[in-house]
Amino acid sequence: MTETLSAEMRQDMLEKMLLTRYAEERIQELFLENVIRGTTHLCIGQEAVSVGMAANIDAKRGDTVTCTYRGHGHALALGMPLKSMMAEMMGKASGCSRGKGGSMHLTDMEVGLIGTFAIVGAGLPVTNGAALTAQLKKTGAVAMSIFGDGTANIGAWHEAVNLAAVWKLPSIFICENNLYGEYSAYEDTAPVDNVADRAAAYGIPGVIVDGQDAEAVYTVVKEAVKRAQAGHGPTLIEAKTYRYMGHSRTDPASYRPKGELEEWKKRDPIDILSARMIADGQLTEAKLESMRKAAQDEVQETTEWAMNEPEPSKESLFEDIWV
Ligand SMILES: Cc1ncc(C[n+]2csc(CCOP(=O)(O)OP(=O)(O)O)c2C)c(N)n1
Ligand SMILES: [Mg+2]
């Protein structure tokens, strides 16, 4: 059953979802204005998974997270400073990867984010490595990997889930099933109705959760953490969600059936949590409005700040590399 969280935790989740939403809207504009180069993959519509996951992470304990190129929301939910992210987007030296990674390579060891990966499926084996460390050192830490529905068709995914199950690693595999892998619909590329159904092949629990409901996501991830810490091994969680935007910056997503986006927008993660808080007397429309404004202001101020930050030096090209 979905846990009812404290007013403070709900407030924190709502703030982070608002910050992610407005930051990503601004990022899209900045790409179109050529202020940010390369490409970008937005998680607008999927924010509840980010906050539900992140609220279970204890970086001090040594918990770790790997995620994908669609990782802005996870990074912010884990507590990466917006400045660090925005500067990285713009290739500035003050970015989390010193301006050399960009949108798809956000990393912040302080918050447990050991990497966002552009290679589909590449995060799972790394998560297993972190989980093995926790298991051998008996730290009680867990390692999470976030990925999409298309990723469950990749060889590395199957090898990683299998190994984690055999070794009973404290790995937690969280699938954001947003119905599409690039431009292909889930049902055209997978032979099973749910990604979670694949858990049976590896003898681990496969749990389906409403990915639009932050508290529901929080609840199932918490269960998976307990299981991992008790030495029972990994859990596969499938959060049913939807990306409002196309796959990447220039994709108009014309392959989607008419009306599908509108249906999903009726179950917006920010609306669901804020409505619940209002119903429980923890939030008013006016307070919500001021929270929106605060998030928008932070995005605007941070954007301006990042634009004026220096580029990395030429010498830094030879730093942080293996020869
Ligand atoms: C190994 C590999 N194959 C193909 C690609 C190209 N590619 C980038 S994203 C993507 C789709 C992944 O879909 P999904 O796992 O559902 O994640 P989503 O983008 O929907 O979050 C593909 C095929 C890649 N980056 N890496
Ligand atoms: Mg997908």
CA dist., res. 219 & res. 277, Å (int): 17
Verify whether ligand 1 is closer than 6 Å to residue 180 (CB atom). yes
Confidence band of 250 (pLDDT split at 50, 70, 90)? confident
Confidence band of 225 (pLDDT split at 50, 70, 90)? very high
DSSP-derived letter for residue 39 is -
Measured CA to CA in angstroms, residue 91 lies from 79, 102, 309 at distances of 20, 6, 9
Segment 175-206, tens digit of pLDDT: 999 999 999 999 999 999 999 999 999 999 99
| 149 Cα nearest atom in ligand 1 | 16
pLDDT at 207: 98
- For range 19-28, the mean pLDDT: 98
Please name the residue whose Cα sits nearest to atom 20 of ligand 1.
181
Q: Is the pLDDT at 63 greater than 80, yes or no?
A: yes
Ligand 1 center from residue 184 Cα (angstroms): 10
- Pick the more confident residue, 1 or 182: 182
Verify whether ligand 1 is closer than 6 Å to residue 241 (CB atom). no
CA dist., res. 95 & res. 73, Å (int): 16
- CA 31 vs. chain centroid, Å, equals 20
Contacts of 87 (CB under 8 A, 6+ apart): 93, 94, 95, 96, 99, 306, 309
Ligand 1 center from residue 175 Cα (angstroms): 13
Segment 283-312, tens digit of pLDDT: 999 999 999 999 999 999 999 999 999 999
Ligand 2 center from residue 246 Cα (angstroms): 11
Please name the residue whose Cα sits nearest to atom 4 of ligand 1.
120
Mean pLDDT across the chain:
97
Verify whether ligand 1 is closer than 6 Å to residue 170 (CB atom). no
| Angle separating helix axes 47-54 and 269-279, nearest 10 degrees | 60
pLDDT at 251: 93
Q: Which two tokens stand for residue 197?
A: 């159904």
**Cα-flanking dihedrals φ and ψ of residue 237, to 5°?**
-110, 130
Verify whether ligand 1 is closer than 6 Å to residue 46 (CB atom). no
CA dist., res. 88 & res. 303, Å (int): 11
Q: How far apart are the first and last CA of the chain?
A: 52
Nearest to 291 by CA among 303, 304, 278: 278
> Where do we find the tokens 């209002």?
278
pTM of the model: 0.98
Q: Is the pLDDT at 322 greater than 90, yes or no?
A: no
Nearest to 226 by CA among 172, 291, 164: 172
> Where do we find the tokens 């984010």?
113
pLDDT at 249: 84
pLDDT at 75: 98
Q: Is the pLDDT at 323 greater than 80, yes or no?
A: no
Q: CA angle 9-12-18, nearest 5°? A: 140
Nearest to 69 by CA among 140, 148, 137: 148
Q: Is the pLDDT at 58 greater than 80, yes or no?
A: yes
* Cβ atoms < 10 Å from Cβ of 212: 25
pLDDT at 321: 86
Q: Which two tokens stand for residue 310?
A: 């220096």
CA dist., res. 35 & res. 283, Å (int): 36
Ligand 1 center from residue 62 Cα (angstroms): 28
H-state helical runs in the chain? 7-32, 47-54, 72-78, 82-89, 123-137, 155-166, 186-189, 214-229, 260-265, 269-279, 285-307
Confidence band of 118 (pLDDT split at 50, 70, 90)? very high
Verify whether ligand 1 is closer than 6 Å to residue 178 (CB atom). yes
Q: Mind listing the domains of the chain with CATH numbers?
A: 7-246+255-303 (3.40.50.970)
pLDDT at 202: 98
CA dist., res. 171 & res. 145, Å (int): 8
Q: Is the pLDDT at 257 greater than 80, yes or no?
A: yes
Q: Which two tokens stand for residue 298?
A: 């932070």
